[in-house]
Amino acid sequence: MKNVQRGRVMNNKIFWCRECNVPTLQRQCENCGSEAAKICSDLKPVFEKECKFLEKEMDKRLPGNSWQNGLWMRYKTIWFNGKRL
């Protein structure tokens, strides 16, 4: 599915570069040039307050430095470094 935004076509796919551990909007990473893996189309970063809420609700520590380090969410699915938790 594509959106038209300010006169240009936007692709609704999000990819993950396994080399840089960052999301990207293109199949090829803009940082390192490696091929990125498609993960989903609706992804958002998880911020500090959300992480603290999730940790309290789950009674479990989230991986890494949580909100500072590669933690993303899509609906009820949490992604860490491009992989579903």
- Whether residue 43 contacts residue 74, with contact meaning beta carbons closer than 8 Å, is answered with yes
* pLDDT over 90, % of the chain: 9
* Residue 33 pLDDT > 80: yes
And the tokens for 58? 């789950």
What digits encode the pLDDT tens for the residues 44-78?
776 777 777 877 887 877 666 554 556 666 666 77
- Residues 52 and 44: their CA atoms lie apart, in Å, by 16
User: Could you tell me the pLDDT band of residue 84, with boundaries at 50, 70 and 90?
Assistant: low
pLDDT computed for residue 50 by the predictor: 76
pLDDT computed for residue 14 by the predictor: 83
